[in-house]
């Protein structure tokens, strides 16, 4: 038996003797003290548990919000560049409208135009619909009286094309609308 173990046993015996010598009253005090300490410890455990539960719930929120934000960022990531390219597309259309273009030039311009439109489309950018006037996607720059061919609220002419990225409008179409 090691010296340390012997020492432990001796100490235990001393403790026992002390306990035996305690009066009933002293024991009651100890019980009371223990109960108080237990109460404190249980309160503390509950506090830490609650803190844990709160921070766990908060983390789930942080993760959920982070995922939503990431999806939105990815979905609309091309928005700024796409918006800026729209004016290049306008310029291209104007260049194509010039009279007396040689076939080569016309073909070249159309190729550029198609590649731009297809690049935008792949990123989710498309022209708005012109089915009937909708102030959410159209800007009426002129109105004409409705007739048999052009019923009220129909789009008569498109001055400048409108585009949207998924359901988000990049710019409204400038249109002539029948009224």
Residue 135: name the closest of 80, 166, 76, 177 by CA.
177
Kindly indicate which of the ranges 5-13, 36-44, 144-152, 156-164 contains the residues binding a copy of itself, using the contact rule CB under 8 A. 36-44
108 is a site residue for a copy of itself (CB under 8 A): yes
The site string for a copy of itself over 81-100 (x = CB under 8 A, - otherwise) reads xx-xx-xx--xx-xx--x-x
Residues in binding contact with a copy of itself, number by CB under 8 A: 60
Residue 148: name the closest of 106, 112, 178 by CA.
178
HEC profile of the chain: CCHHHHHHHHHHHHHHHHHHHCCHHHHHHHHHHHHHHHHHHHHHHHHHHHHHHHHHHHHHHHHHHHHHHHHHHHHCCCHHHHHHHHHHHHHHHHHHHCCCCCHHHHHHHHHHHHHHHHHHHHCCEEECCCCCCCCCCEEEEEEECCCCCCCCCCEEEEEECCEEECCEEEECEEEEEEC
Kindly indicate which of the ranges 5-13, 20-28, 132-140, 150-158 contains the residues binding a copy of itself, using the contact rule CB under 8 A. 20-28
Min dist. Cβ of residue 18 to a copy of itself (A): 12
55 is a site residue for a copy of itself (CB under 8 A): yes
151 is a site residue for a copy of itself (CB under 8 A): no
Q: Which is nearer to a copy of itself, 42 or 179 (CB)?
A: 42
In the complex, which residues of this chain contact a copy of itself (CB under 8 A)?
19, 24, 27-28, 30-31, 34-35, 37-38, 41-42, 44-45, 47-49, 51-52, 55-56, 58-59, 62-63, 66, 69-70, 73-74, 77-78, 80-82, 84-85, 87-88, 91-92, 94-95, 98, 100-102, 104-105, 108-109, 111-112, 115-116, 118-120, 122-123
């Amino acid at each position: 038996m090691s010296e340390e173990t012997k020492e432990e046993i001796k100490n235990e015996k001393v403790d026992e003797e002390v306990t035996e010598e305690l009066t009933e009253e002293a024991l009651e005090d100890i019980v009371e003290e223990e109960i108080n300490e237990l109460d404190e410890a249980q309160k503390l455990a509950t506090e830490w548990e609650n803190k844990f539960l709160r921070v766990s719930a908060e983390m789930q929120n942080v993760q959920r919000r982070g995922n939503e934000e990431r999806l939105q960022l990815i979905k609309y990531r091309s928005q700024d560049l796409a918006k800026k390219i729209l004016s290049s597309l306008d310029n291209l259309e104007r260049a194509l409208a010039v009279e007396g273009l040689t076939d080569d030039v016309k073909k070249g311009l159309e190729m550029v135009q198609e590649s731009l439109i297809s690049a935008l489309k792949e990123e989710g950018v498309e022209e708005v619909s012109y089915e009937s006037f909708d102030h959410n996607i159209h800007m009426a720059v002129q109105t004409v009286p409705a007739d048999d061919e052009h019923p009220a609220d129909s789009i008569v002419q498109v001055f400048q094309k409108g585009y949207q990225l998924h359901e988000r409008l990049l710019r409204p179409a400038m249109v002539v609308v029948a009224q």
